[in-house]
Amino acid sequence: MKRLPCIVAMASALAGCASDPVPPPPEAPAAARYTPEPVADHTAPAPAVHGGEAQRFVAGQDIPAQWWTLFRSAALEDLVRQALEHSPSIERAGARLRQVEAERQARAGATRYPQVDAKLSANRVDIGSESLGSPGLPLATPLNLYLASVGVSYDLDLFGATRHELEALQAAVDYQRYEIEATRLMLAGNVVTAAIREASLREQLETAREIVALQERQLAIVERLEAIGTAAREDVAAQRLELTQARVLVPELERQLGQVRHRLAVYTGQPPAAAEGMPLFRLADLRLPEDLPLSLPSELARQRPDIRAAEALLDQAGARVGVATANLYPRITLSATLGSLTTDAGDLFGAGTAFYLLGASLAQPVFHGGELQAQRRAAIAAWEQAGAAWREAVLQGLQEVADVLRALETDARRLQERADAATQARRYHDIVSARYQAGGVSHYALLDAQRKLQAALLDRTQAVADRYADSAALLQALGGGWWHAERPSADATPATDAAVATPAR
């Protein structure tokens, strides 16, 4: 037993010589702003159109956890809530989180604390005294041996193998938590985008039906003019062709609208047939957020759950480098056994039957054909890959925000132009239609005015929908405020408000 302190002392000295094997974290890409040119304080307004309000960018404004409430639609809020509560994708991610958390707890219990095992055995032994080299040994065989013992063993983690292994498992847990937040953010964004798409299609469908009704009235006028001899037969045929082409657009829009409704039902964890009972969405029922939060680029890496998930994978890879490095050093195990051994079951714990064993072992890898060094190099390469993936995630996040900011600016101007074009197209159509009835212009001029009006109205509707979709995309690209949400313990997020506010890299 005098050797046990020597073994521990020697291992401690080796541990002191071992440097920290975990590589330092990479630096985040530096960015003072999202776009090459400064972002304007507000977007261009289109006052005569619903959804044409000017939007103001508020630097540093916080994002609410339920960011979809900024559209001020009770039906939309209820649909997002249903999706977050009943989506199979979130249920799957939650089950995966519980799995990795249980795996981490199991490994922590197996490595962090001593292992204690109790043993009770009974054996019948028949040994000839001649086989023991003592023919005269007074040993009556066969005999019964009864053993009761308690064994304790513990691996000393002097070189951090266990510690880094648990860090890797904790990083896996953090990754799954961020994956849940990313899934929730994506699902909410999909529901909001699909609802805006439905509202746009519904308004386009109403516009298409109005245009069909307008052309039906125009056809009646042309037929009446033909009857009195002031319009040619080819004018009637041309108007009928224009009416037929306008009618073709209606079933196509109805098909797209039905598909969007089916998609919304599936998002809420229901079959497509359940779309019949869902609320109808119209652009007039939505409100455009007039104040849009705009986080600093340096804060984006702490706000987006996909970037935080990539960071967790980076931490996991770094911990595995630590495990691979610790495997190069000795492994020390302490053990102790206390028990009782007797040939009489009734005297198992009697006097003179007790025994104890104390032990310590040290295993030092000597020659593994370069296996351990190669495993460490592979772990370092995996860490480098994770670092590159993390930097790529940061850059993609910055790009997404930059793209949405430009879309918000340009789509606001485009709506302004489309709204003016629709007003001019309506005025032009009314003038041409009145002159045609008076015989002042040809029927081809009337058809041209109808086409321009139809295109202008549909373009204006799409431009309005784009502004709503851009607003949702910005809130989603900035992270959606998930760090403010209260979660049950099984889905608890691994970051606090303070952690989010402080850049990690």
Q: Would the pLDDT of 229 be above 50?
A: yes
CA–CA separation, 408 and 404 (whole Å): 6
| DSSP for residue 71 | G
Measured CA to CA in angstroms, residue 349 lies from 144, 147, 341, 342, 372 at distances of: 15, 10, 8, 8, 47
pLDDT > 70 in the chain, percent: 88
Q: Would the pLDDT of 153 be above 50?
A: yes
Run of H or E residues at 147: strand 143-156
Q: Would the pLDDT of 292 be above 60?
A: yes
pLDDT at 255: 97
The CA-based dihedral angle spanning residues 9, 12, 13, 15, taken in that order and rounded to the nearest 10 degrees: 160
Q: Would the pLDDT of 247 be above 60?
A: yes
Q: Is residue 351 part of a domain?
A: no
CATH assignment of the domain containing 474: 1.20.1600.10
CA–CA separation, 245 and 252 (whole Å): 12
Structural domains counted in the chain: 1
pLDDT at 132: 56
Local confidence band at 279 (pLDDT 50, 70, 90 cut-offs): very high
- Measured from the Cβ of residue 278, the count of other Cβ atoms closer than 10 Å reads 18
- Compute and round to an integer the Cα radius of gyration of the chain: 37
Judge contact between 456 and 425, C-beta under 8 A: yes
Q: Is residue 335 part of a domain?
A: no
pLDDT at 478: 95
Scan for tokens 């793209």, then name that residue. 403
pLDDT at 139: 60
Q: Write the pLDDT tens digit of every residue in 336-368.
A: 999 888 877 777 777 778 888 898 888 888 888
CA–CA separation, 303 and 88 (whole Å): 25
Q: How high does pLDDT run on average in the chain?
A: 86
Q: Is residue 346 part of a domain?
A: no
Q: Would the pLDDT of 483 be above 60?
A: yes
Q: Would the pLDDT of 296 be above 70?
A: yes
List the single range of 171-180, 259-268, 342-351, 387-396 with lowest mean pLDDT: 342-351
pLDDT at 130: 62
Q: Is residue 32 part of a domain?
A: yes
Q: Is residue 144 part of a domain?
A: no
Q: Could you tell me which of 385, 391, 389, 390 has the C-alpha nearest to residue 320?
A: 385
Q: Is residue 126 part of a domain?
A: no
Q: Would the pLDDT of 1 be above 50?
A: no
Residue 197 CA neighbour count, 13 Å, CB half: 18
* Helix, strand, coil % in the chain, rounded to nearest 5: 65, 10, 25
- Over residues 53-82, mean pLDDT: 93
Q: Write the pLDDT tens digit of every residue in 86-108.
A: 999 999 999 999 999 999 999 88
Q: Write the pLDDT tens digit of every residue in 404-444.
A: 999 999 999 999 999 999 999 999 999 999 998 888 888 87
User: Sign of the C-alpha dihedral, residues 391, 395, 491, 96?
Assistant: negative
Q: Which amino acid is at 10?
A: M
Q: Write the pLDDT tens digit of every residue in 105-146.
A: 998 888 888 888 899 888 887 766 565 566 665 666 677 888
pLDDT at 17: 45
pLDDT at 111: 83
Q: Is residue 433 part of a domain?
A: yes
Judge contact between 150 and 336, C-beta under 8 A: no
Q: Is residue 387 part of a domain?
A: yes
Local confidence band at 318 (pLDDT 50, 70, 90 cut-offs): very high
Q: Which amino acid is at 357?
A: L
Local confidence band at 230 (pLDDT 50, 70, 90 cut-offs): confident
Local confidence band at 25 (pLDDT 50, 70, 90 cut-offs): low
List the single range of 187-196, 205-214, 339-348, 481-490 with lowest mean pLDDT: 481-490
Say which residue, 378 or 12, is predicted with more confidence: 378
Range(s) of the domain holding residue 488: 3-113+157-330+365-501
pLDDT at 29: 74
Backbone phi and psi for residue 495, each to the nearest 5 degrees, phi listed first: -125, 150
CA–CA separation, 155 and 429 (whole Å): 87
CA–CA separation, 163 and 176 (whole Å): 20
Q: Would the pLDDT of 500 be above 70?
A: no
